[in-house]
Amino acid sequence: YSNIYDVQDSISVPYCLYVRFEDSPEYLQYAYSKLDLYVYENDIQTDGIVYTVYVNSSPEKMVVDIFRPIVSL
């Protein structure tokens, strides 16, 4: 996967929106959609980058942390 994705040991971003997803992998897309909707409804400016951290994954359930940096508070 490292030849497809940009993999980093750590990253520091001052201000982010954060979502923790814990469910079946087939529903992961809804976590991204919900975050997008929250950004839109609250008129939040982001830099367009989304960081995804796969905490745990199995065919039945996955735990994913999604971070979306915001431009300013």
Query: What is the pTM (predicted TM-score) of this model?
Result: 0.83
- Contact predicate 61/27, CB 8 Å: no
Over 60: is that where the pLDDT of 1 sits? Answer: no
Sequence ranges of the domains in the chain: 19-69
* pLDDT tens, residue by residue, 3-12: 777 888 888 9
Within 8 A by CB and 6+ apart from 45, the residues are 70, 71, 72
For residue range 29-42, what is the model confidence (pLDDT) as tens digits? 999 999 999 999 99
* Distant-in-sequence contacts of 50-55, Cβ < 8 A, 24+ apart: 51/11, 51/13, 51/16
pLDDT > 80? residue 17 = yes
C-alpha 44 chain-centroid distance: 16
User: What pLDDT is attached to residue 4?
Assistant: 79
Rounded mean pLDDT of the chain? 91
